[in-house]
Structure 1
Amino acid sequence: MGIWPVFFEGYRIEKKAEKEISKELEQVDEKKLQEEALRELNSLIGLHKVKEIIYEIYAFSQLQMKRKKEGLATDPIVLHMIFKGNPGTGKTTVARILGKLLKGIGVLEKGHVVEVERADLVGEYIGHTAHRVRENVKKALGGILFVDEAYSLARGGEKDFGKEAIDTLVKEMEDNRNKFILILAGYKYEMEYFLNTNPGLRSRFPIQIDFPDYTIEELLQIAEVMVKNRQYKLTESAKRKLMKILIKNDASREMGNARMVRNIIEKAIRKQAVRVLNKVNITKEDLITIDSIDIRED
């Protein structure tokens, strides 16, 4: 009989050690997640003001968590946001980085991003919309619900269910306070109109971030990063041709930002593949080089 108390004491010590090790590993993982997210944030081209605000949110949230642990007074962490900017300006990318950062410091349990648009939220009959909104909020619990082109929810007449989607989102923000973050995104002026359609809506989103269009130089940098990540390289003539296309699109106000650059690069890679495949002897240099002939606008 005398061996059992010793055995159980050893068992308790072992279990305690396992919990401590598990907690230490979790802290290491969270630290790595923060470091990874900060590297991603810092590596973004341009977006200087955006990066500054995201770091402020990260620092504020982290300090509030530390103050809470020390028993100090804390401000409520309300992080519902509005992202305003044209397509291809990095709104979704920044939302994903933010999810990782807030997961890393324990503000969010999971840190994932659920991306939806009007069609995912607005139903076709009474009650259908509320159900769709609640289902998507449920998926986003512990993370971020990112609603793209959110201004479209305010369009339509009295019989449109977009208003019901907005009302349900507002209710879910209250019912699931601190359990998820809602980010509404879209064109700057359309989002301003959207916020003005509901007098109480603006105050529910204390953080509003403007995403500026990229400059021509920044877009060229983005293109170079894209090809480098795919283990290709642009010749000088390819860069000049790409620059001409970017300048032309900027002048005609048809700038598609990083999305347009990605489309051009992906098309160039396909064109390069056709060109190189027809060569008799294919070298490693051939495999990685994108020339001006591969860069197409159409």
Structure 2
Amino acid sequence: MNGRTSAAGSRSEARPSRQINIVLRSNETSLAAVPERDIPVSPVVPGQQGLYQEIQKELDQLVGLEQIKELIYEIYALLQIARMRSEAGLLSGGHVFHMIFKGNPGTGKTTVARIVAKLFQKMGVLSKGHLVEVERADLVGEYIGHTAQKTRDLIKKALGGILFIDEAYSLARGGEKDFGKEAIDTLVKAMEDHKNQFVLILAGYSDEIDFFMSSNPGLHSRFPIQMEFPDYNLDQLFQITELMVKERDYILMPQSMSKLRDHLQSEKENRRHAFSNARYVRNLIEKGIRNQAVRLLNQYVTGNPGKLELMTLRPEDFRMGT
């Protein structure tokens, strides 16, 4: 799901009734402490009071990620209070909203980035609110000067929205002579040249992102917002499984549910490399759907299966390891 995970459950009460705490838990840096220069906060148009209910509805569809949801609310609260301060004749200042998303694959990073882009667009921080998702191959060229031009072109495409760089640490893997360094330098310059026009989000594994940040002394201070995306636990993974099946108009037999749950538990406990979370679940479900299609065609040589049979995923449709 590339982090594109839906989840059940919604909250009936609006968040604005709760206490506001504008502190970034990940690095203990207050958003309000950011120097007063980067992205300005534009006045919110009338009728925006119900905006967060729309954002919250999208967040509530995500399984887990409670700390991420809290942080997004803090950003919303900051923007609302900045608007109120401006209307009261007080300095509202500008704030840096460039971010680091840390976590294994399939933990919701891209989905959250899209929600943040929508929030920023609605709140007047970004003019368009679109997401441009790239990786090393999109940024790094084949000769000196090529990388800088490719990176500038993508930055231009992202103006008014968010530039989301997945596996951003790969830009620093090649050392001083690698063209990835040229991409990093171009990004740092663009954060100054276009500081009011786009938000940069760097995403990847936690340890590797930390290494990447140390590769350029000017990087760390430019990303005051850091979000940790934890792996899903077994219950959350199975909740994601059920939702993915339901979204595709399929149902799982009880035996299929038991088989999938046992397999997911085994994968989490025994996998040597980073578990790909919801992405792994999505691949598992899609493979099962393909196996079901083959089974039904072989079973119904003449005539068509009934609606319930077309919807049902049986245990034999999930052939693990094949």
Q: TM-score by structure 2 length?
A: 0.80
> Is the CA contact (8 Å cut-off) linking 1:272 and 1:290 kept in structure 2?
yes
* Greater helix proportion: 1
In the aligned structure 2, how far is the partner of 1:207 from the partner of 1:37? 19
In the aligned structure 2, how far is the partner of 1:91 from the partner of 1:36? 19
The yes-or-no answer on 1:234 pairing with 2:257 is no
Among all aligned residue pairs of Structure 1 and Structure 2, give the percentage whose two residues are the same amino acid.
Answer: 59
Pair 1:242–1:112, CA change in 2 (3 A): same
In the aligned structure 2, how far is the partner of 1:73 from the partner of 1:52? 25
Provide the residue aligned with 1:100 in structure 2.
118
Provide the residue aligned with 1:213 in structure 2.
231
In the aligned structure 1, how far is the partner of 2:246 from the partner of 2:202? 32
Q: Choose from 60, 73, 81 the match for 1:42.
A: 60
Provide the residue aligned with 2:100 in structure 1.
82
Q: Choose from 312, 317, 322 the match for 1:289.
A: 312
In the aligned structure 2, how far is the partner of 1:32 from the partner of 1:294? 45
Q: Deviations over 1:180-224 (max 9, x none)?
A: 100000100000111112222111100011110000110100011
Which SS does the other structure have where 2:184 is aligned? helix
> Is the CA contact (8 Å cut-off) linking 1:38 and 1:101 kept in structure 2?
no
In the aligned structure 2, how far is the partner of 1:31 from the partner of 1:295? 47
The residue type paired with residue 283 of structure 1 is G
Q: Deviations over 1:150-177 (max 9, x none)?
A: 0011111322111111111011011111
- Greater CA deviation, 214-223 or 74-83? 74-83
- Greater CA deviation, 59-68 or 98-107? 59-68
Alignment of 1:51-200 (within 5 A): 51-200=69-218
> Is the CA contact (8 Å cut-off) linking 2:101 and 2:201 kept in structure 1?
yes
Structure 1 residue 32: deviation in Å?
7.9
Gap regions ≥5 residues in structure 1:
1-25
Q: Choose from 280, 283, 288 the match for 1:263.
A: 283
Structure 1 residue 256: deviation in Å?
1.8
Structure 1 residue 276: deviation in Å?
2.6
The residue type paired with residue 74 of structure 1 is S
Structure 1 residue 85: deviation in Å?
0.5
In the aligned structure 1, how far is the partner of 2:148 from the partner of 2:278? 34
- Greater CA deviation, 30-39 or 212-221? 30-39
Q: Deviations over 1:48-78 (max 9, x none)?
A: 1111112211221233234334432113221
In the aligned structure 1, how far is the partner of 2:129 from the partner of 2:53? 15
Q: What is the count of residue pairs matched by the alignment?
A: 272
The yes-or-no answer on 1:275 pairing with 2:295 is yes
Pair 1:103–1:34, CA change in 2 (3 A): farther
Q: Choose from 180, 201, 212 the match for 2:219.
A: 201
Gap regions ≥5 residues in structure 2:
1-44
Instruction: State the Cα RMSD in Å.
Output: 1.8
Which SS does the other structure have where 1:124 is aligned? coil
> Is the CA contact (8 Å cut-off) linking 1:113 and 1:145 kept in structure 2?
yes
> Is the CA contact (8 Å cut-off) linking 1:108 and 1:180 kept in structure 2?
yes
Which SS does the other structure have where 1:179 is aligned? coil
Provide the residue aligned with 1:15 in structure 2.
none
Structure 1 residue 27: deviation in Å?
6.2
Larger radius of gyration: 1
Structure 1 residue 114: deviation in Å?
0.1
Q: Deviations over 1:68-105 (max 9, x none)?
A: 34432113221000001011111111001111111111
The residue type paired with residue 101 of structure 2 is F
Higher relative contact order (CA 8 A, sep 6+): 2
- Greater CA deviation, 265-274 or 203-212? 265-274
> Is the CA contact (8 Å cut-off) linking 1:134 and 1:168 kept in structure 2?
yes
- Greater CA deviation, 87-96 or 119-128? 119-128
> Is the CA contact (8 Å cut-off) linking 2:167 and 2:203 kept in structure 1?
yes
- Greater CA deviation, 164-173 or 194-203? 194-203
Which SS does the other structure have where 2:241 is aligned? helix
> Is the CA contact (8 Å cut-off) linking 1:33 and 1:100 kept in structure 2?
no
In the aligned structure 2, how far is the partner of 1:103 from the partner of 1:70? 23
In the aligned structure 2, how far is the partner of 1:260 from the partner of 1:31? 38
Q: Deviations over 1:3-60 (max 9, x none)?
A: xxxxxxxxxxxxxxxxxxxxxxx867x7787544321111100111111112211221
Q: Deviations over 1:114-165 (max 9, x none)?
A: 0011111111112111111111011111110000110011111322111111
Structure 1 residue 292: deviation in Å?
1.2
> Is the CA contact (8 Å cut-off) linking 2:188 and 2:218 kept in structure 1?
no
